[in-house]
Amino acid sequence: MLEKLIVLVEEISMEAALEGLLPRMLGDVEFQIIRFQCKDDLLKQLPARLKGYSQWLPSNWAILVLVDRDDSDCAALKQQLEQAAQQAGLLTKTRVAAGQRFQVVNRIVIEELEAWFFGDWKAVQQVYPRVPASIPQKKPYRDPDAISGGTWEALERVLKKAGYFPTGLRKLECAREIASHLNPDNNQSASFNAFASAIATVLAWE
């Protein structure tokens, strides 16, 4: 049974979103979010951080690494994360057979946190009721992980058009408020569902 989940994130908006989301997903399981200064900082420090964990990580703890894809090559970024864990001597979900325990699971947010918000538009509407309900049916937004031109910029445009954030999107406030309404069981973002599936897998540990 999972006792504790350590989550490594690259920025404060994701930290705020997870603080609202993880208690509903993990129930009584303890969690700790460790935030780095940025994506480059996380990737730079990750090998040493994982090597440290490998010296003492209890068998009923797991580490989740969450990184935005941004403009990175998804396969290359995943490989970099996997190598960091492998070189630290930690087993990743990718490297074990189905049903076998692992110590690290790497998940890439495509392309960034705001895709998860487009994936649950009802959550956005609960916080910002003037946004059009039809956004998920419009071609540019049908696939939250394929929104072009930057996901947070797209969200900012939609919110501004509805009369919110006239001077610019306050990402932290937005993340905190929308995440508190996200339904983990009903999100159209594939990267969110990969994240949720990883959570479900570790929660199923006996």
Question: How far apart (Å, rounded) are the C-alpha atoms in residues 52 and 71?
Answer: 29
Candidates 34, 21, 38; CA nearest to 112 is 38
pLDDT for 99 equals 82
Mean pLDDT of 17-41: 96
Candidates 196, 107, 109, 198; CA nearest to 152 is 109
pLDDT per residue as tens digits for the range 139-165:
999 999 999 889 999 999 999 999 999
Where is pLDDT greater, at 206 or 43? 43
pLDDT per residue as tens digits for the range 56-102:
999 999 999 999 999 899 999 999 999 999 999 999 999 999 888 99
Q: Which amino acid is at 75?
A: A
Question: How far apart (Å, rounded) are the C-alpha atoms in residues 159 and 185?
Answer: 24
